[in-house]
Amino acid sequence: MTVRVVLDAMGGDHAPRIPVEGALWALRELPELHVILVGQEDRIRAELARHPTEGLPLSIVHASQVVEMHEHTIAVKAKRDASIVVGMRLVRSGEAEAFVSMGNTGAVMAAALFHLGRIPGIDRPALATVYPTAHRPCLLLDIGANTDPKPWHLVQFAMMGVIYAERVLGWPNPRVGILSNGEEPGKGSILVQEAYRLLQESGLNFIGNVEGKDLSRGIAEVVVTDGFTGNVVIKHLEGTVSFLARFLKAQLTDGALDRLGLALALPGLILAMPGLVCLLPSLRRAFRHLDYREYGGAPLLGVNGVVIIGHGRSDAKAVKNAIRVAVRAVKEGMLEQIREGLESMTAHSPMSDTPKNPRISPTV
Amino acid sequence: MTVRVVLDAMGGDHAPRIPVEGALWALRELPELHVILVGQEDRIRAELARHPTEGLPLSIVHASQVVEMHEHTIAVKAKRDASIVVGMRLVRSGEAEAFVSMGNTGAVMAAALFHLGRIPGIDRPALATVYPTAHRPCLLLDIGANTDPKPWHLVQFAMMGVIYAERVLGWPNPRVGILSNGEEPGKGSILVQEAYRLLQESGLNFIGNVEGKDLSRGIAEVVVTDGFTGNVVIKHLEGTVSFLARFLKAQLTDGALDRLGLALALPGLILAMPGLVCLLPSLRRAFRHLDYREYGGAPLLGVNGVVIIGHGRSDAKAVKNAIRVAVRAVKEGMLEQIREGLESMTAHSPMSDTPKNPRISPTV
């Protein structure tokens, strides 16, 4: 089975160089993959010319426009020939099975909603990411698709998260938590308190509130939150890890005493080298576990198509892994699984936007 | 000038042992301090009996009841002889200048609102904490007093934060940011977008949105957010730091190869010891900078009294530092500074709860 993945060659901070490198890397690793690079053809060809590409299952579809990272979501409406829009149309028409972009998250979501639409039963799509914990990572959603969701949207996120965790990631019987400002029931914003009650009645394996300090403890496989809080938390993790590394390094190389200490310690450290080298595989494994690039990209759950969105600062490895996630989602039948899973769940919880809260139509 | 600080001897996970130890430590360090321990007298006396206390400026006020950590805020209404309530009355009557507790945050806030009331111009108090960054720490508020504030409450938080940072902490002309899910203007929940507009007109030194990853970069001295998000973020920091330490240690001592590596490295590490010892002061300084216990406690800004709330898991050092923060706030005239500062700011931004959003009265 060939999986055709559209890659937005213009998305991310170093496009088209990084997407092209990531695509070639993915093609070397994944035999079933066919990549369709979408974007400004001359720039893509110039980038491809720097690599050996003969015989690779790779094609180019030209798109003259680019939605820049800082542009408003609305740009996808004005730029009808943007790489994001052209790529999304390829998925809609069945010429490709999945869409991957490191570009403007808001624009990708808007284009997905407009061109692919939503899965029946889902009012709002959610962006899900794998959050590293000591054991099995957990799936955190939403991390940025909806800044102001309603309580029943969080229940829909939980349902999609459970189906994705169980059927695509292969984690059996995932526990569901809701991010809150205290572990006791009754803690939380109005949104969280109402969603808590709905989740209790949802038939899901709901364990209750999860505090910010407990995310990394791996006490739930699926944690739901609104896209505002989720986005703040996931960026906070990124900021904290890089801050700690920089901070400790700066503190330990700052003063004269530090430099004297490092000089004095050097012979010993050299002697210790063979032993320290033995620790390297563990250290590498640890950092890989914490490295967002390993997880590649965040699936946009709830739209009628496999859409994976990566970090704008992704490197080629992250692009490669985002494509890997897309291929896996296609091969595991993610869309069918979510459709089927939702149908079997709706008996338990017939929640969706009521007339008072009209279904959000894809108005972008 | 003697500063009389009420310490809730029954607050925190290991009360009254930890509060008593912290009080004694603070008394040794702060010559102007008088501590009033409030709580169950026999238990406090039993704890004090384990230490030399003769001649220390220390008194006990009996309170028969305790609001437990897990109890609902409403408990302070029912338990009229709880340590929190009795202590707050001492501040109200002028028998003490400040109140410090490691107990139930919601209950302390409710008691403060009810017994001390609010500063004119402030609709909701906010809990502020010092967030560590590479340079000067930043003041983050609210971290848990209001889970669902209105936009103008965030402006009031910003005003109080600026006054506290400038006049109590001594940071000149603090920059103000608002925590958001993107740095561009227009990003954010509805709450954040509206507060953003109000902050632009506030006359404060407003620099715009601050993302989760930028909190530790120290780009603003005061960062405002709703109490839900602030609480999740501050606990997330706590969780991430302890997770990383545990995770790296586990990864590096896990396998047979790791143990071989450590054994092989040992002679070298011993040889390197004198050098490594020189690095210790820097390492200690670094950890102290990151240690929440150094910052002691979070001031509850906006109530008519100096109220400092500490972490339930505080140790004696954290209690000592919370008392230190209280003494400093009293000596710097925190309340008068906030009252004065608000008056000079109100010309710029006459924001408060409108009739449609009636002033929240202390109904607890």
Better-scored residue on pLDDT, B21 or A76: B21
Average model confidence (pLDDT) for chain B? 88
- Which pLDDT does position A362 carry in this prediction? 36
Instruction: Report how far residue A209's alpha carbon sits from residue A229's, in angstroms, rounded to the nearest whole number.
Output: 14
Q: What is the ipTM of this complex?
A: 0.84
Q: What is the C-alpha end-to-end distance of chain B, expressed in Å?
A: 34
Which of B251, B270, B277, B292 to probe the A interface (max A CBs under 10 A)? B251
Distance CA A303, CA B194 (A): 29
- Each residue's pLDDT tens digit, B237-247: 988 888 887 77
Q: Which residues of A touch B179 (CB under 8 A)?
A: 232
Measured between CA atoms, how close is B250 to chain A, in angstroms?
9
Identify the band that residue B355 occupies on the pLDDT scale cut at 50, 70 and 90: very low
- Cα–Cα distances (Å) from A183 to A161, A254, B7, B172, in that order, read 21, 41, 26, 38
**Domains of chain A and CATH, by start:** 1-122+302-354 (3.40.718.10), 126-255 (3.40.718.10)
Token pair for B336: 């008068």
Q: How far apart are CA A350 and CA A198, in angstroms?
A: 11
Give the pLDDT of residue A293.
Answer: 60
Q: Output DSSP code: residue A305.
A: S
Q: In terms of Cα–Cα distance, which of B150, B76, B63 is closest to B109?
A: B76
Residue B359 has pLDDT above 50, yes or no: no
Question: How much of chain B, in percent, has pLDDT values that exceed 70?
Answer: 92
Confidence of residue B363 (pLDDT cuts 50, 70, 90): very low
**pLDDT band at residue B196, thresholds of 50, 70 and 90?**
very high
Instruction: Tell if the CB–CB gap between A286 and B188 is shorter than 8 Å.
Output: no
Q: pLDDT-derived band of residue B289, with 50, 70 and 90 as boundaries?
A: low
Cα–Cα distance measured from residue B356 to residue B53, given in angstroms and rounded to the nearest whole number = 55
pLDDT for the residue B76 = 82
The pLDDT value recorded for residue A189 is 96
pLDDT at position A158 is 96
Sheet holding A176-180, edge to edge: A58-62, A33-39, A3-8, A98-101, A306-309, A298-301, A126-131, A138-141, A222-224, A176-180, A206-211
Which one of B213, B247, B248, B259 would you mutate to disrupt binding with A, by most A Cβ within 10 Å of its Cβ? B213
Quick check: A239 and B190 CB within 8 A? no
Which pair of structure tokens corresponds to residue B93?
A: 């009557």
Q: Which residue positions in chain A have pLDDT lower than 50?
A: 349-350, 354-364
Decide the pairing of beta strands B298-301 and B306-309.
antiparallel
Residues in B closer than 8 angstroms to A183, CB to CB, are: none
With a threshold of 0.90, does the pTM exceed it?
Answer: no
Per-residue pLDDT of B39-79, as tens digits, reads 999 999 999 999 999 899 999 999 999 998 888 888 888 89
Query: Which residue of chain A has the CA closest to B217?
Result: A243
User: Comparing B70 with B302, which gets the higher pLDDT?
Assistant: B302
Start-end of H helices in chain A: 17-29, 41-48, 75-78, 83-92, 105-116, 151-163, 190-200, 227-252, 256-290, 292-295, 316-331, 334-346
Determine the pLDDT at residue B350.
47
Contact B220, B177 (CB under 8 A): yes
Cβ separation of B144 and A181 shorter than 8 Å? yes
Q: Best mutation site among A211, A235, A240 for testing chain B: the one with the most B CBs within 10 Å? A: A240
Instruction: Count interface pairs A-B at CB distance under 8 A.
Output: 248
